[in-house]
């Protein structure tokens, strides 16, 4: 399994604003894709709820750290 990680250190209001915009765009993209591709799927609803929580937390400009991790499995998509 390949693993990739990006760490965003939030040390200023500018950093916080950039992370807020990033999470807003990510959430909106995931929401639109899940509506199109997985309408009514419970796993897409759970994923959106998790991202909504993170998105809402980034709306408060506070110092912190955002860590994104992608773990690629060694298998093909079904279908």
8 A C-beta contact, residue 65 and residue 10: yes
What pLDDT shows up at residue 44?
A: 73
pLDDT of residue 34: 79
Per-residue confidence in pLDDT tens, the chain, 79 aa? 899 999 999 999 999 999 999 999 999 998 888 776 655 556 678 888 899 999 999 999 999 999 999 999 888 877 6
- Please state the pTM of the whole predicted model: 0.76
| 3-state class (DSSP) for residue 68 | strand
Pinpoint the alpha helices (H) of the chain: 13-37, 42-58
């Amino acid at each position: 399994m390949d693993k990739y990680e990006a760490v965003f250190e939030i040390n200023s209001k500018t950093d916080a604003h950039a992370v807020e915009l990033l999470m807003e765009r990510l959430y909106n993209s995931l929401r639109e894709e899940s509506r199109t591709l997985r309408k009514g799927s419970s796993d897409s609803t759970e994923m959106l709820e998790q991202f909504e929580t993170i998105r809402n937390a980034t709306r408060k400009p506070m110092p912190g750290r955002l860590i994104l991790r992608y773990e690629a499995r060694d298998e093909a998509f079904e279908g």
